Structure 1
Amino acid sequence: MGPGGDVIAELAADHRELEALFSQIELQPVDHPRRRELADRLTAELVRHTVAEELHLYPVVREHVPHGAALADKELADHARAERMLKDLEDLSVDDPQFNDTIAKLKFEIASHVREEEHELFPKLAATLPPEKLDELGRLVRRARETAPTRPHPPLPNTPPAHSEPPRVR
């Protein structure tokens, strides 16, 4: 995922890809096995995306964006809800009625999260950081996505380990 640009372009491209995956799932017949394949791909891409945001975006938002701690906490809560849904989805077969319900709830959750990020968080970030720092953050996000897990782990904390340093973007 991602075009190789600054952090905002990277994450917005991820958002478009996630939206496209939801659309592909919806285009399949209700109990078609392809829905499972697409749901698994959606899960992997969404987990990579959230890990990259949690490792690199939100620590910078906390440090540099006015009221950034509250924004980051809200985004992390959104991620935790989505991760629980992904974990539930993992155990469902496409012929289970809960599969479709979970996909619909997840789509709503992700759409709301994307709107908030793109209309509130991203403009604040762009107004706070110079372009070269946004580019640097984009590189960090790309690298994190390459090595991120692809399965949800909701019981784990949504913050980096205490011994790790958040990225220093000044």
Structure 2
Amino acid sequence: MPDAPTPATPGPEEDVVDLLLAQHAQIEQLFLLVIGSTGDARRDAFDELVELLAAHETAEEEVVHPLARTLPGGGGDAMVDDRLDEERQAKQTLQTLIAGGVDADGFDIGIILLRDAVLTHARYEERYEFPRLRQHVPPGRLRSLAGAVRAAETTAPTRPHPGAQSAKGNLAAGPALAVIDRVRDAMRKPSDS
């Protein structure tokens, strides 16, 4: 299997929009790996995709979307509500794919449908939410928000949880869900001994 894409290395000038755009590209590459692989390579790429999607969406829900609601110009609530609905639907689809596994009947169609939904969601963020962030949030704050997103990702669950998709929901349930997910992940991985 080709090496999975690595996350962008944070630098002092990286801002939250740069970080999220790099993650969107990484997510797209992982979808290609999942769709184009078989066997263990597919399973590994899918596991990496699931973990990245869970962390990425949790961080957006905790850091980016609440800020986007408050930006001048109106429409922030509706824009964020639409993104949260897309995220909830994607999490439900992802849960179904996880439950069936990469060898299940319908996985190929399901992963393509999920890819299309996730990439459409990303394009909406890139077209509507991110430009508003760049327009209304000072560059220094955008840079500090990149750190906040990275911090949120370190404590995020590694699996989708459709019921916890708000900043409050993630902050309340996220740490416990993250512990459960990480224990489950450790039990699933073969030991190196």
Same fold (TM over 0.5): yes
Equivalent positions of 1:145-156 (< 5 A) are: 145-156=153-164
Task: State whether residues 3 and 9 of structure 1, in contact with CA within 8 Å, keep that contact through their aligned partners in structure 2.
Answer: no
Contact 1:2–1:11 (CA under 8 A) maintained in structure 2: no
Residues 1:69 and 2:69 are matched in the alignment: no
Could you say which residue in structure 2 is the equivalent of 1:85?
A: 93
For residues 124 and 159 of structure 1, do their structure 2 counterparts lie closer, same or farther at Cα, with a shift above 3 Å needed? same
Asked whether the 8 Å contact 2:58–2:170 carries over to 1, the reply is: no
Counterpart of 1:45 in structure 2 is 52
Q: Is the 8 A contact 2:86 2:121 kept in 1?
A: yes
Closer, same or farther in 2 for the Cα pair 1:38/1:10, shift >3 Å?
A: same
Identity across the alignment (%): 33
Q: Paired residue for 1:8?
A: 17
Q: CA deviation at 1:69?
A: 0.8
Point out where structure 1 has 5 or more consecutive residues left out of the alignment: 165-170
Match of 1:112 in 2: 120
Q: Residues 65 and 145 from structure 1, CA distance in 2 versus in 1: closer, same or farther, beyond 3 angstroms? A: farther
- With the length of structure 1 as denominator, give the TM-score of the two structures: 0.88
Q: Which residue of 2 aligns with 1:25?
A: 34
Q: Which has the higher contact order (CA 8 A, sep 6+)?
A: 1
- C-alpha contact 2:71 2:132 (8 A) present in aligned 1: no
Cα pair 1:65 1:125 within 8 Å, conserved:
no
Amino acid at match of 1:73: D
State the partner residue of 1:59. Answer: 66
Comparing 152-161 with 61-70, which one deviates more in the overlay?
Answer: 152-161
**1:70-95 per-position Cα deviation (integer Å, ceiling 9, x unaligned):** 11111111110110011101111333
1:160 corresponds to: 168
Q: Does 1:122 pair with 2:130?
A: yes
Cα deviation, residue 162, structure 1: 10
Contact kept, 8 Å, 1:7 with 1:134, in 2: the verdict is yes
Once superposed, what is the RMSD of the aligned Cα atoms? Answer: 1.9
Hey, what's the Cα distance between the residues in 1 that align with 2:60 and 2:101? 29
Tell me if structure 1 keeps the 8 A contact 2:35–2:112: no
Distance (whole Å) between structure 2 residues aligned to residue 69 and residue 115 of structure 1: 18
1:22 deviation in Å? 0.6
**TM-score normalised to structure 2 length:** 0.78
Q: Per the alignment, do residues 24 and 162 of structure 1 end up closer, same or farther by CA in structure 2, a change over 3 Å counting?
A: closer
1:17 maps to amino acid: Q
Structure 2 residue ranges without an equivalent (≥5) = 1-6, 173-193
Number of residue pairs matched by the alignment: 162
